[in-house]
Structure 1
Amino acid sequence: MKKLVYLVLVLLAFTSCKNESKLPVEHVQQQKEKQEFSIIIHGGAGTILKENMSAEKEAAYKTTLEEAIRVGYNILKNGGSSLDAVQKTINVMEDSPLFNAGKGAVFTNAGTNEHDASIMDGKTLNAGASAGTTIVKNPINLARTVMDQSPHVMLSGNGANTFAKEQGLQIVDPDYFYTERRHKSLEKIKETEKLELDHDDKTALFYDADIKNSKFGTVGCAALDKNGNLAAGTSTGGMTNKRWGRVGDSPIIGAGTYANNNTCAVSSTGWGEYFIRAMVAYDISALMEYKNVSLQEAAKEVIQNKLTNLGGTGGIVAVDKYGTMVAEFNTAGMYRATMNAKGELSIGIYKD
């Protein structure tokens, strides 16, 4: 009997060692080097070239990126939740006219500003999102409230505006979102429409390169807190000259935003239609979960291969359950910043 028990114990030990050996080296290393907490943000991806950027403008972007990420960092450092860090960090970027979210949102074909946002809790897989709102000052706050105070995941249009009012969120006059720079972009694209497109081919402008490249500034954040909980959020004004109530990837859970404590938290930015088709944010998590690959490998596979092969452009920022941070994009640049538990700050704009 003792011999039988001994053999069973040996077999179990061997099986356990065998299963552990299936873990990639990257995962073993990440477990050993696990960060206490981490935060990463983006302010949009696109044709962002140094030769087109003045020193003053570059400094302004870097200053705001640092201001935003330090807000989230301080929340995490003091033991706050990843959800709060994501929300408050995004608030800073929504309040800046530099980014295509909140105050700096682009204009629709009708000359209005329509906002989309989403947030997700990696611990519970609960999520909230809103699309096409026009009077909510901080759309990410609405997404968080939808998650926390409603039985739904996404609200849209007038219904979302009404819910925001009922919940006591800050409501502003639509004129609050007006910025001269974004309005001139709309006028330029409309002028191009008149000059270059036949009357029967107006819809083609929706996929014009100028519009695609004008989708700079969508903002997002992914974070890991001291309790091991992941969260991600994304906020945007969408695409310049969008029409027909167009909604991009930013409020779509699995496309623009995804978080799962078992894998990673992801926020996307880019040409939304392709991010929806590829389910970019979830796909990165799925590769990690089902193929047991690292965050870096998964992000590279999805952005540089799957998304690129579809014809899509853009990028993601993400953090995994070990605190490893990744910024992956297939464009000329992406506004981004990271901070780890040691307080080390890194800011980037161009493809280095």
Structure 2
Amino acid sequence: MKNTVLAALAAGFAALLPAAAHAEEHEEGAPKWSIAIHGGAGTLDPDRMTPQQRADYEAALQLALDAGAKVLAEGGTAMEAVQAAIIPMEDSPLFNAGRGAVFTWEGRNELDASIMDGRDRSAGSVTGVTTVRNPILLADRVRTDSPHVFLMGEGAEQFAAERGFEVTPPEYFATERRREALERLKAEALSALDVDHKFGTVGAVALDSQGNLAAGTSTGGMTGKRWGRIGDAPVIGAGTYADNRSCAVSATGWGEYFIRVGVAQEICTRLRYAVHVKALEAQLSVPWDENGPTYIVHASELAMGPEIFQEIADEVMAEVAELGGDGGVILVTPEGHALYSFNTTGMYRGRANSDGMNEVAIFGGEDGADSGNTPDH
């Protein structure tokens, strides 16, 4: 009898998961809003970075973080905040997104972006666009103003033109630093990893004061990419994912491995399962009488600390490393935890919340957080 009831309870807990991960009221003391950003992860060496370079990156990260935080502090939505944070990074030549994107083998700047709304899991993605200044805005327009999720190349640009996007000359995106990287790659028969010490993809994840989550990612891909190569950034579930029932994730790294692992959705799925397991364990501890359990544990009553979410993210990034991939993720949970995990020596990153946290960092351990695994390959 008890086993039968427990089986029924287990099935019932699955239906309660949305409430577990996203109660209408935040847990007491939790931030009302939270945001995290990244500007790429990779092999970063503080000894090879001049004080001016470091100051430039920190200022660019702070500008993006403040733009997103301002939207949230004024009661804006997570979707608005994500776009507000990503646009300054797309406009900065320091990052591999928008202006400053890397060159393909043929010498073009081809841009990818994706965005996802955790409220209804609506999503939009574009890849291979060359004349849209802010691809993250086009990705969102695909989400809201088309019957599709993913548009590519000329079709995406035709859609942009029909929706009133201004045509940006391709030379706007080109920078001499990125052109030199392509020339060196070709001249010395190097790989993209040899000339790109970091994956400069940019992204943001946010929780707004209404309890909704969102995620967005934008990139120029890998130096010297060929044959229409597409990485994880525009792939929903690999580089970007948001679900109010679990978390919002944006990734940066060696896209082929992130696609194979399905990093962004994998983290969210494992988080939802962890809530389910904790609810079932709690129910098993409830005393029984002749009618069954004396109390039904509602999943929304369970508070999960950031260490559980950090462990899940670290485990998924460890899988990426085991396959041979590098990179990192940022995530925000319904409880307001803003976390990072990366298996590289550094990741350009920042986070802020309504409790007053506001910090940017570049190298591992700088922000005092458990930032994941150091590379072992």
For the aligned pair, the TM-score class normalised by the smaller chain equals: 0.7 to 0.9
Question: Which one of the candidate residues 287, 295, 317 is aligned to 2:270?
Answer: 287
SS at match of 1:251: coil
State the one-letter code of the partner of 2:37: I
* 1:320 shift after superposition: 0.4
1:144 aligned residue: 140
Q: Say whether residues 1:256 and 2:270 are aligned partners.
A: no
* 1:291 shift after superposition: 3.1
Q: Is the 8 A contact 1:215 1:238 kept in 2?
A: no
Q: Say whether residues 1:115 and 2:111 are aligned partners.
A: yes
Q: Say whether residues 1:318 and 2:331 are aligned partners.
A: yes
Question: Which one of the candidate residues 164, 169, 174 is aligned to 1:178?
Answer: 174
Question: Which one of the candidate residues 306, 309, 315 is aligned to 1:301?
Answer: 315
* 1:214 shift after superposition: 4.4
CA displacement 1:236-271 (0-9 Å, x = unmatched) = 000000011110000000000000000000000000
**Superposition map of 1:60-209 within 5 A:** 60-193=56-189, 209=193
Q: Say whether residues 1:50 and 2:77 are aligned partners.
A: no
SS at match of 1:269: strand
Question: Which one of the candidate residues 15, 31, 34 is aligned to 1:38?
Answer: 34
Q: Is the 8 A contact 2:250 2:331 kept in 1?
A: yes
Q: Distance in 1 between matches of 2:167 and 2:248?
A: 29
Q: Is the 8 A contact 2:199 2:327 kept in 1?
A: no
SS at match of 1:221: strand
SS at match of 1:97: coil
Q: Is the 8 A contact 2:90 2:98 kept in 1?
A: yes
Question: Which one of the candidate residues 215, 219, 222 is aligned to 1:236?
Answer: 219
Instruction: Give the aligned length.
Output: 318
Q: Say whether residues 1:210 and 2:194 are aligned partners.
A: yes
SS at match of 1:244: coil
Q: Is the 8 A contact 1:338 1:346 kept in 2?
A: yes
Q: Distance in 1 between matches of 2:274 and 2:155?
A: 40
* 1:179 shift after superposition: 0.4
Q: Distance in 2 between matches of 1:131 and 1:220?
A: 15
* 1:171 shift after superposition: 1.9
1:198 aligned residue: none
Q: Is the 8 A contact 2:44 2:198 kept in 1?
A: no
State the one-letter code of the partner of 2:350: A
Structure 1: stretches of 5+ with no match in the other structure:
1-10, 194-204
Q: Is the 8 A contact 2:36 2:338 kept in 1?
A: yes
1:274 aligned residue: 257
CA displacement 1:194-250 (0-9 Å, x = unmatched) = xxxxxxxxxxx65x6315x44531100000000000000000000000011110000
State the one-letter code of the partner of 1:251: P
Question: Which one of the candidate residues 327, 335, 351 is aligned to 2:340?
Answer: 327
Give the 3 Å change call, closer, same or farther, for CA 139–103 of structure 1 in structure 2: same
SS at match of 1:171: coil
Q: Say whether residues 1:226 and 2:209 are aligned partners.
A: yes
**Counting helix residues as a fraction of each chain, which structure ranks higher?**
1
SS at match of 1:170: coil
- Note the aligned Cα RMSD (angstroms): 2.1
Q: Is the 8 A contact 1:258 1:265 kept in 2?
A: yes
State the one-letter code of the partner of 1:209: L
1:8 aligned residue: none
Q: Distance in 2 between matches of 1:154 and 1:235?
A: 14
Q: TM-score, normalised by structure 1?
A: 0.86
Structure 2: stretches of 5+ with no match in the other structure:
279-307, 366-377
SS at match of 2:325: coil
* 1:312 shift after superposition: 0.8
Q: Distance in 2 between matches of 1:58 and 1:188?
A: 24
SS at match of 1:67: helix
State the one-letter code of the partner of 1:312: G
State the one-letter code of the partner of 2:223: T
State the one-letter code of the partner of 1:49: D
Relative to structure 2, which stretch is displaced further, 219-228 or 289-298? Answer: 289-298
Q: Is the 8 A contact 1:142 1:164 kept in 2?
A: yes
Q: Say whether residues 1:344 and 2:357 are aligned partners.
A: yes
Q: Is the 8 A contact 2:110 2:220 kept in 1?
A: yes
Q: Distance in 2 between matches of 1:234 and 1:209?
A: 20
Percent sequence identity is 51
Q: Distance in 2 between matches of 1:98 and 1:351?
A: 20
Shift >6 Å, 4+ stretches = none
1:202 aligned residue: none
State the one-letter code of the partner of 2:88: V
Q: Is the 8 A contact 2:43 2:198 kept in 1?
A: no
State the one-letter code of the partner of 1:271: W
* 1:189 shift after superposition: 0.5
Q: Distance in 2 between matches of 1:256 and 1:115?
A: 14
* 1:138 shift after superposition: 0.4
Q: Distance in 2 between matches of 1:349 and 1:277?
A: 27
